[in-house]
Structure formats: C-alpha cells, structure tokens
Structure 1
Amino acid sequence: MPIMGAGRTAPVAAVIVGAGVAGRLVLEEIRNRPGLNYVVRGFVDDNEALHGTVVNGIPVLGGSKDLPRIKDEQAVVEAIIAMPSVRGQSVRKIVDLCRQAGLTTQIIPGAIDVLSGRATVSAARPVGVEDLLRRETLVLANDVEVHYSGKIVLVTGAAGTIGSELCRALAGLNLRRLVLFDTDENGVFDSDLELRSRVADMPKAPEVVPVVGSILNEAKVEWLFATYRPDIVFHAAARKHVPMMENHPEEAVETNVLGTRIVAEKSLAHKVETFVHISTDKAVEPSSVMGATKRLSEVVVRDLARRSSETKFVIVRFGNVIGSRSSVFDVFRRQLARGGPITLTHPGMTRYFMTANEAAVLLLHAVVIGASGNILSLDMGEPIRIADLAKDLITLSGYRDEDIEIRFVGPRPGEKLHERLHADDETLVPTRHPRILRVDGVVDPPVSPGAIERLAQEARIMDRARIRHALRDLLPTYRPGFAGNEIL
C-alpha cells in the first residue's frame, strides 16, 4: 500500500476533509513526518458550527460544498478524506465534489483500522469502489464479548478473507486460545505473525496456535480437536469460486460437503459448545455446483443439529465479500491496469456486498444469537449493479467513460442474474440484532449417509457428469443452467 506523499520532492498543498478524531490524527502525523511533503491549508467539515473556527491550529475553511471555492482561494491540489465512519453515499458525494473542483483524493482506512492502530493514518490510498459501499461501523455487544472470555476458538480456513478477518476480531477478545487451521502454510504463517504482534501488548493475550492441514484429513482433524479442545468452531474453509467449481465439481464436493461433515462430526464427538458453519447466499435455490454443495453442507450440518443435545450448530449465509481474492473488484482492477476492456456478464446483473469486517462482527454475534439448527442471513443492504461498480472504478481511476470499454461477454456456467436471500416458501424473521435475520421455513431434502457416500465415490473417481446428476437427485432446488428469467 503506498504511503501518502511518499516520493514527492515538493510540498503538496492539501485540505483534510473531516475535522474529527481521524482528521486530527492525519494532521498530527503530517506534522510529525515532514518527509510526507504535505502542507495542510485547513480542514473541511460539514458541521457548520466548526466553520471559521481553528482546530489544532488549523482553520476550518468550510463544508464539502465549498471545496471549489477553497481550492481556488487556498491553491490546494489534494483532499485527504479522513471520515472513516461515514457511509458510502457521503464518500461518493465528497469524491464527486473533489472531482468537480479538480482535486485529487486520498482516503484513510476504516474507523476500526485507524482507531485500533491496525493501519497508520499515513497509509492513505486512492479512493476505491469499496469506499463508496461503506455502511455504519459495527461494534460488538458487551454480552457477546463476554461470551468469548476464556474460550478456546478454532477457525478453519483461517488464511482466507473471512477466516483471517474473524481471527483479527477474535484476537481482540479475552480468549484463552485461538487456533488457526488452513492448508495455506504461507497464509497461516502471515496471519500468525500479524496476530502475535496485535496481541503482544494485551494484558491477557490469547495463545495463538497456527496449524497447517486439510479438513479432508480426518486423522489430522481428530488430532486437532483432541489436542486443542475448542469450545467454539468457525468453519470458514470452503471452495467458493463459482466458474472454477463448475469445471472441477469434485473439489467442491470434497471440500464443501465431505470436509464440512468431518469438521462438524468432530465438533459433535468432542462436545464443542458451538459450531458455526459459514455458508453463502448462493445456496438459495442454487444454480451452480458451488452453491449446490454449500446447500448440501447446510443439510449435513442441520442433520447433526437434530441429533445433538450438547453442541449447538448454527449456519450463517451472506453474499460477496469486498476485497476477497479474485473478487469482481480485483478482476476489474487488473483489467483496467491493462487498459481494458472490463468484461461483464450482463448489464443488469446485481450482487450483494459487505466488508469482511462487517461479516466478522456479525458472525461473532451469531454464536450468541443463533439456536441449534438455525440458518441466519446477514443483512447486506440493497443489491448493487455490477455495471455501476465498473463505471465507478473507471471514474475513480481518473478515466472518462469513453476511455475504457465495458464489454458484455455473456453468461458463465452457474451464474445467476440476481442472488436471492431466501426461497419463495421461506421467510426472514428479525432477531435481537438488526443486521441478523433468521431464515424460517427451510425444508431440507432427505439425504442419507449412503447418498453422501455415493456422491463421495463419484468425486473420488472424478466422474463429473455423475457428480452433477447426483447433486440434482439430492437437491430438488438445484437448477443448473444459463440465461433465463433468473439464471444466467
């Protein structure tokens, strides 16, 4: 990540948008680090009570609507947006005003990153599409935080986007031990280093234990549970890439179904308090192999919930995570770096998005809120048109719409035009948390252990046609296909 101002030889005149805590931190760091080469002319803040006042020795020059005037009067060339808690709509408004004024923009990270010290304010970066999707910052309820005190927590898929963010959130709680489990040895190593640094100054730092291994290695998973005796398990390990799993369905079956069954059964056998299975909105009336295997994994977990009187099994569904590897954002940026075109499936395609931090905080609440067998759905706001994201990225990168081609290339196997949060015969019911809903009316198809074994056998011999046929037999709601009213 570039450090703001790094490499400049002449000072740059700037304004800081936001005169709150984050803005004052930015000013302090600029003062303490002359090498950043910034001259701050003043603050810009929409709180009219501050206009004409002086904050930390710097004048508040006006509100965001005054940026064109301020730019001319103060001869500034850059605006540093230091409003980490503001919603994406407000960020968009400020960025548009800066663009109209001819100002370049930088933005500091989110509130939790800055105030926890996870990212220094010098790590400002250009405004990204994800900044335009911001929602309010979520905090952990006191009783939820207390629930984790002294607990041993295991996270599978700990090196992935969601798994690593969960570990960061968990590391700040008063855990006894945090166990990271993943096949990605480099990712586990990096997460371990980061977390150890994070907890070093905590008075009661949890023990961080990195473990490399596969959820498909039943002997290793048995050793993992017997050795570390987790109280809570977050099962984030999964195959998630829709087109790749269409081409390699055996991988989706093995990881998403068989791997989940192994971890869930070990949780039951070792009397884990709570097992949280991280699912996806693509499990709702699935059109892809990935979605179908995630739906089948839900059936497996809910069957164990019906048989368990000690372990609580909770399933949590949500949509796309901003910043995950090979996400639409990453793909678009790589295409833009090559000069385009940016390729899309369909001009009307929409998706639900949330940040990894939002998902992590809500998952921590799900442990307390969910009853055994519940399927919970996270509130992700309104669906976003993918074509709009592409246009935003083009504009934020300094191009005009006509500079970069947006090319519609047609459907990919397994894709839907729009994702759904629940099926027609299901309902979303509020819980005690406004961003967590319970899915009622879910009907699980009967799936016998023998049927799962037959599916496993097809995966082992890589008979892909029979894998798809078996998934259709097991899941009546699985409708693989392409273009249509709902499915592309």
Structure 2
Amino acid sequence: MLSIVNALSRKQKVRIFLGIDLLLVPLALFFTFSVQSLPDSALGTLRGYLPILPYLMLAAGLLSKKLGLPQIQLKAYEQNAIGLSALLATVLALLSALLARVAGIDMPPGTYVIFGISYFMFSAASRMVLYRVVTELYRRAQPRCRVLIYGAGTTGTQLAQALRAHDSIDPVAFVDDNPSLQGVLMAGLPVFAPAQIPDLVENRGIHRVLLAMPSESRPRQAQVARKLQKMGLEVQALPSFAQLIGEEPLVEKLTPIPPQSFLGRDACDMELAEACESYAGRSVLVSGAGGSIGAELCRQLLACRPARLVLYELSELALYAAHQELQQLSEGLQTEIVPVLGSVIDARQVARVLEDHGVQVLLHAAAYKHVPLVEANPLAGLANNVLGTRTLARAAAEAGVERFILISSDKAVRPTNVMGASKRLAELVVHDLATRNAGTVFTMVRFGNVLGSSGSVVPLFQDQVRRGGPVTVTDPEVKRYFMTLGEAVQLVLKAGAEARGGEIFVLDMGAPVPIVQLARQVIESAGYSVRDANNPDGDIEIDFIGLRPGEKLEEELSLTGDLTTTRHRKIFCAQEAHLSEIEVAALLRGLRHALAAGDVDAARAEIAHWVEGYVADETARRRS
C-alpha cells in the first residue's frame, strides 16, 4: 500500500483530492436528506435533485481548484486550509439553494444550511482520516524513534506538537518534576514523574529522551542527562533561547573568577626591587619556558631588563605561544628574546646554547610534574627530572654560569610517588655540584601547588563546573599547600638573588587548604550550590574518586622541620642532610643502568635506596 502512495505523482494526488471534493457533494446531500423529515426517502429526494447535481459538482470542482484545496498537503491541512474548506461549503450551500429555486425544487431553508455544514465536516474529516492512514502506513513501513520529552512546560508542549508531523520521531509521553503536572494530559500526551522513567522505557519502547527545559541551569541539565544515560538512553537537549538568537558566545565569554580568589589568604605581592640586580643586563636562560611557572618567570624577568632572555622548551606549541607573548611584552625594552627548541637531556645542545648565548643565570623549571603521569611512566620521568637536571647543571658549571636555580617541589619531601622522588634526587644532584663548584652558585627553591598552573585543581574544577559536574576530589581529607603563580615566581627570583650556594629555600605557603573546601568554593563562586546529603536539590555534586597512584593526603615542605629565617619573611632555608660526591656518583650510575635496561623495578629500587622517607605506592608498583 505504501509503495502505491509513494508511486503517485503530485498531479495524481491533486486529482484524487479533487475527486474527493466532487464525491462529497452527493454524499453530503444524501446525509442532509437522511437527517431531515421530508415527504420522500433520502434516496428518492436525491433522485429529484439529479437535474442540478452535475452543476453543483462542477461548481465544487472549479471552486476547490480555484481555492487551491487539492494542492494542500495532508500534513499542512491546518487553520488556513480549514477556513478555505468552510468557504467552499458556504458557497456550495448558497449555490444549491439558488439552483433548486431555478429548477423548481421545493426544499425547507434549513436543508441548505445542513448541506453546507455536512459538506464542510466531510471535507475536513476525509483529509484527517487520509492523513492518519498515510501516517500509519509510513510508521509501519519504517522504524520510528520513540522519544520521551523531559519537561512539560511551554517548550516541551511546542516540541511535542512539532514532532507529530515528523517522519521518523514519535513522541510518547512527558516527564516533569512538577507534581501538579503529573497525571494530566499535555498536548495530547500523558505526563509522568521522573521516577517512572524505567517503567516507561520498558513498557513503551523508549529510545531517546529530549530535554525540553532550556531555562534550567547547565549543571541541572547535566545532572538529569547523566542519570538518563546511566539507563542506556540517548539524551538530547533543546537549545536555550540565548543559543537560538546567537547570544551564547557572549555568555561563554563571561570572565571566570581568577584562581587566586580561592587562596583563602592575601597573596604576597612584593616588588622585586634589589633582587633585579642579579638579573639586570645579564643573559638569562629559563628551561621549561613554555610551562606555567617558566612563562611567569620570563614575564617577571622582563621587568628586570635582562640583556637576553633565552626560552628553552621541549614543546614546540608551548614555545611558540611563550615567544609570541614575550615578544609583545618586550616591545620598547632592550631585551633580546631567543626561542630555543630542545631537551635538557641533550648534553651537546645544552652546552652549545649556554656558550652561544653567554648565559649567566639559569632558572631550571623544566620537569615532568604530573604525579599520575610520571607514576605511569617512571623511566621517562626519572630521565627528564634527574638526568636532565644533572646534564643542565653540569653544563652550567662548565660554561661558567653565575647562578643556577632549581625549581623544586614539596612532593620531594618523603615522597610516595616517582615524581616527588625524582625532584628529591634532582635536589641531591644540584647540592653535590654546589659543594664542588665555587664558580657557579647552585641553589634550590621548594614550594607547593601553584593556583592556576597547568594541572592545578582550580582550572580543572572550573572546567568540571562548566560541564555540569561532578567535581572530582580524590579524598575528603586531602590537603595541599597553595600559592598564586605570581607570588611563587617573585619569591623564587628573590631567593635566587640571595643564594650563596647549596641552599634549599622553602617558601612560606600558609596553612594547607582542604581540597574539598576548595571544590566547594569553586562551585559556589560560579553561582551554583553543592548537591550533597544536606542539600539533595543542589546543582553540582562532589565525587570522591580515591587517591591516585603515588598521592598523599598531605604534603610537607621540609624533611626535618628545621627552617631558618632569611631576610624575607616568606622565604626560609631548610637544614637537611645530603649525599656525598661518591654517593651521588653511585646514584647516577645505578639510575643510568636501570634506564638503559628499561628496568622499572631497578629504578624504583634506586629511589628507595637513596631518597629518605620514600615509600613506594604498591598499586603503582604493581601496574609498572
């Protein structure tokens, strides 16, 4: 049957509708005579009407064609088309009265009124029946996606009405959180409570859910979508009005709250002042210049007006971005910006760069620092963080560099991860060189997490909030030290300028901050509420995922807690034991052998032997 419908041309379909309009004339007349009390039967009365019936049918056909009724598609037969059908019925009723009078046929006046009404009803009903038949044929011929509409408000009901004419989508029902709407019919569809979705999916063959609640917040929509996706349903959301009228880019450009707002204390903002004398007019190299800390070091160094700033970076993209920014910032200054693409492990390149550019001050920020990534790739982490530091520091001593400043980490203190252990080994290597090279001042600066740096939790939390959550925290008890990027770099440069050789400077980072408290601040600062046991109707939940391999609940800043003050109230000096020259040589030899053999267990054994307080994470050890 459907193949016959599809085979009909447009002209053939127009003729069919025109024929229907013609045949409805005698049918409406017969019905009119049947419902009236007339002297003769309905059939007998119709026979008496035969002299004028051809003229009436001809008029119906001509007028129908003139009004364009046969050309109107079934699915487009709505208010305007119904009005045209009413006009046609009215004209036919008047014409039938006129023709009957001319032919001398005596009928009660009400007959013509009933005829007009009957013709209109049959005309509209015939098209509606045909539409239902054709629609049902299409539905049976091709599979239709049965959808559930989440939201029975104005948007949802308009969506349901629009989908009724769709060839492949079949709206089945609404679900809505509003109890006053549950149990009623909206746009011809029943409204159910969200708790009934599993039953609806099973009993009514639902394939997809359409979220028709654009006024709800993104976190709320994301929360609903996640629940539905867990049921195995495909979820699609109707765009908001802002998206439809092109305002969405403006919304996306709203400035997020800066990370330093979550510090919980006043940031230490000091001028470099006399510290700049150690960098002014000199050739300064920053390794890892494309990273968060490296790039900030470069920005603040420009204020000291070095003669040359060498950007040493392994990532081409990061180097390009840093170079472009610093070129603009250095306009009007006499500082030469030199981008160098290379690895700190490449001894020949490092030596050549130091010599070619006459480097006098070297700030070593290049490191693999993401704990889980280094834990999963321990050999690469050790090679870059330990041997790379050794290569760079030794080349600096041989080239006569005035100052070498290692950027270290609080994770180097009693580490449970390879990243922290590699930073501690790097400290031991640098301290060994400090004791044997009077020409170069070697020093280390140790601090904790930097708000806003790559891999920092604040940008991660903000991104999770933008996506509707959940915000993931490793453990309810986990705490970390935090500084802003600007104050960390200021203090590093001050400490580097004060160094006399061999110091481990520790920055005062205030009290450790509970990460769950930080997560709550980020959620609330974005205008949302935390969804938990005390507030089940909140917007975004905090999901505790467990400590990742190598992570600790709390970090420390020194091994002994023995810190001496310096000229600056935020900078302290740690008093810690170090390895001898022979021990450092043995350490490097064992590490190189493990790396050459690709032996992770041997590399971990070297760490355990030389790093004080190191406790290997068993899960990570088994994985490697």
TM-score, normalised by the number of residues in structure 2: 0.55
Q: Give the Å deviation of 1:482.
A: 7.1
Aligned pairs for 1:305-316 within 5 A: 305-316=434-445
Instruction: Give structure 1 stretches of 5+ with no counterpart.
Output: 1-122, 484-488
Q: Is the 8 A contact 2:452 2:459 kept in 1?
A: yes
- Partners of 1:447 and 1:338 lie apart in 2 by 51
- Partners of 2:505 and 2:587 lie apart in 1 by 26
- Partners of 2:555 and 2:322 lie apart in 1 by 32
The reply to whether residue 466 of structure 1 matches residue 602 of structure 2 is: yes
SS in 2 for 1:393: helix
Match of 1:167 among 287, 298, 302: 298
Number of the residue aligned with 2:207: none
Number of the residue aligned with 1:428: 563
Q: Is the 8 A contact 2:267 2:484 kept in 1?
A: no
Structure 1 stretches of 4+ moved >3 Å? 441-446
Aligned pairs for 1:308-327 within 5 A: 308-327=437-456
The reply to whether residue 142 of structure 1 matches residue 273 of structure 2 is: yes
Deviations 1:112-143 (A, max 9, x none): xxxxxxxxxxx982324531316245233432
Deviations 1:274-310 (A, max 9, x none): 1001100000111110000100010000000010111
Match of 1:158 among 284, 289, 293: 289
- Mean alpha-carbon deviation: is it higher for 274-283 or for 352-361? 352-361
Q: Which amino acid in the other structure matches residue 254 of structure 1?
A: A
Q: Is the 8 A contact 2:351 2:399 kept in 1?
A: no
The reply to whether residue 417 of structure 1 matches residue 553 of structure 2 is: yes
Q: Which amino acid in the other structure matches residue 404 of structure 1?
A: I
Q: Give the Å deviation of 1:462.
A: 2.5
CA RMSD of aligned residues (A): 1.8
Q: Which amino acid in the other structure matches residue 194 of structure 1?
A: E
Change (3 A) 1:184 1:338: same
The reply to whether residue 373 of structure 1 matches residue 373 of structure 2 is: no
Q: Give the Å deviation of 1:240.
A: 0.3
Number of the residue aligned with 1:116: none
Number of the residue aligned with 1:126: 256
The reply to whether residue 455 of structure 1 matches residue 591 of structure 2 is: yes
Number of the residue aligned with 2:534: none
Q: Is the 8 A contact 1:426 1:442 kept in 2?
A: no
- Partners of 2:594 and 2:460 lie apart in 1 by 33
Aligned pairs for 1:46-445 within 5 A: 125-133=255-263, 135-202=266-333, 205-402=334-531, 403-423=539-559, 425-444=560-579
- Partners of 1:137 and 1:296 lie apart in 2 by 30
SS in 1 for 2:405: strand
Deviations 1:77-113 (A, max 9, x none): xxxxxxxxxxxxxxxxxxxxxxxxxxxxxxxxxxxxx
- Partners of 1:148 and 1:327 lie apart in 2 by 29
Q: Is the 8 A contact 1:180 1:211 kept in 2?
A: yes
Number of the residue aligned with 2:173: none
Q: Is the 8 A contact 2:260 2:267 kept in 1?
A: no
Give 1 or 2 for the bigger CA radius of gyration.
2
Task: Work out the percentage of aligned pairs sharing the same amino acid.
Answer: 39
Q: Give the Å deviation of 1:149.
A: 2.0
- Partners of 2:389 and 2:590 lie apart in 1 by 16
Q: Is the 8 A contact 2:314 2:341 kept in 1?
A: yes
Number of the residue aligned with 1:44: none
> What is the count of residue pairs matched by the alignment?
358
- Partners of 1:482 and 1:130 lie apart in 2 by 35
SS in 2 for 1:181: strand
TM-score, normalised by the number of residues in structure 1: 0.70
Change (3 A) 1:124 1:382: farther
- Partners of 1:193 and 1:246 lie apart in 2 by 33
Q: 1 or 2 for the larger relative contact order (CA 8 Å, sep ≥6)?
A: 1
Q: Give the Å deviation of 1:248.
A: 0.5
Q: Which amino acid in the other structure matches residue 445 of structure 2?
A: V
- Partners of 2:283 and 2:273 lie apart in 1 by 19
- Partners of 2:375 and 2:462 lie apart in 1 by 24
SS in 1 for 2:290: coil
- Partners of 1:142 and 1:374 lie apart in 2 by 22
Change (3 A) 1:124 1:420: same
Q: Is the 8 A contact 1:129 1:392 kept in 2?
A: no
SS in 2 for 1:237: coil
- Partners of 1:207 and 1:439 lie apart in 2 by 36
Change (3 A) 1:479 1:180: same
Q: Is the 8 A contact 1:351 1:383 kept in 2?
A: yes
Q: Give the Å deviation of 1:459.
A: 2.0
Number of the residue aligned with 1:475: 611
Q: Which amino acid in the other structure matches residue 287 of structure 2?
A: T
Q: Give the Å deviation of 1:363.
A: 1.3
- Partners of 1:174 and 1:238 lie apart in 2 by 26
